[in-house]
Amino acid sequence: MRTQVAIIGAGPAGLLLSHLLHLDGIESIVIETRSRADIEATIRAGVLEQGTMDILTESGVGERMRGQGALHHGFELAFGGKRHRIDLTGLTGKAITVYPQHEVIKDLVAARLAADGQILFEVSEVALHGVDTQTPSATFMHGGEARSIEADFVIGCDGYHGVSRPAMPAQEQRKNFQRIYPFGWFGILVESAPSSEELIYAQHDRGFALVSTRSPTVQRLYFQCDPTDHVDNWSDDQIWSELHARLENHDGWRLKEGRIFQKNIIGMRSFVSTPMQAGRLFLAGDSAHIVPPTGAKGMNLAVSDVKLLARGLEQFYRQGSEERLASYSDDALKRIWRAEYFSWTMTRLLHTFAEATPFEREMQRAELENIVTSRAMATALAENYVGAF
């Protein structure tokens, strides 16, 4: 097969890039190791910044997001037995939408297939070749047959464990920045009415907790845990007891319970690999960077990467210029490092660190008090949260 852009990975980054390129008249083929059913059923959080909402809407794939997503104009910080609202719209003029990542994927898959876009699911043995030449290619198995794609560019959107980043030339010269956090999140999906109209981020001596709405009947809840723990070690009663202890406050508000139908534990890390390009191979999304979910930046960073790549590829094919593509890493990393900083700050601010001294815990509480009493500090947090930069 021959195409202009070969895209490795059918996550939000790869699918959105393929969609945006199609709108610009640029051909692409997407290959994905999982099945369509798998990528559309893998439930992940989705807090969409205003800029992400705008891109989905402007590119024609935002109808379900607008109809089914929950538009939030603020969120709450809970600590010391009280809840404090951060007025995102009042402080920044922008809002966020809670719309799960797998729903975004459904919208993008539907759009690509409606436009006769090529997505090859359930491929295996993917390998990249000649990425430092003008004719890069990808080989793989599909339907029991060996296949290949020749392209002008290869875009790696296949995540942290994918083949794209290891295929970068000069691996010994790469710089990887990483922090592994000593805790994870225990996540549950619950059949219940919402406990709150907006997200609640709670700091507690027992550890962090988060209330997130999925729909009028399904809620997503998390609490800080040992990343080596196992969901089978927690009964439903123990889970609810822990969430009640960390979330409830002095005003009588009470968390609503329901049937827990999914449990999982996710580890947490901060990670950046540079550069994000080499020859005709470019990385986007989790292939190049990961943020802890506390800052709600993961999918938004992937969309930001893709927006830059789409503009660069459009310039290449329309004007014959590689100026934007040449500056892709530098341009993307400006946003990435700011998001890494914010996600690290939120993680440090809201989680309980076992090694923290009593002094450090008081400083953590003082910083939270400063945020909720200072408009300037609340504005800085809100700007970072909605991506107003």
**328 an active-site residue?**
no
Contact 147/140 with Cβ under 8 angstroms?
Answer: yes
Which candidate in 19, 72, 289, 351 is catalytic?
72
**Which is nearest to 72 in space by CA: 163, 194, 168?**
194
201 is catalytic: yes
- How far is C-alpha 163 from the chain's CA centre? 19
293 is catalytic: yes
Please tell me the distance from the alpha carbon of residue 96 to that of residue 83, in angstroms, as a whole number: 20
- Cα separation, 168 vs 277, whole angstroms: 8
Q: Give dist(CA 31, CA 157) in Å, integer.
A: 10
Catalytic-labelled residue, pool 99, 181, 201, 222: 201
Known active-site residue 72: yes
Catalytic residue selected from 99, 222, 328, 385: 385
- The amino acid that residue 189 corresponds to is L
221 three-class SS = strand
- CA dihedral angle for residue 60, residue 158, residue 296, residue 379, rounded to 10 degrees: -80
* CA atoms of 221 and 2, how far apart (whole Å): 45
Burial pattern 141-157, b for ≥16 Cβ within 10 A else e, equals: eeeeeeeebebbbbbbb
Sequence-distant (6+) residues with CB within 8 A of 258 are 190, 191, 192, 193, 219
CA dihedral 6, 12, 17, 22 (to 10 degrees): 100
Contact predicate 135/43, CB 8 Å: no
- For 232-239, the CB contacts below 8 A with 24+ separation are 234/186, 234/263, 236/260, 239/186, 239/188, 239/263
Distance from C-alpha of 25 to C-alpha of 213, rounded to nearest angstrom: 38
Given 19, 289, 297, 351, the catalytic residue: 297
Active site residue ranges: 72, 201, 293, 297, 385
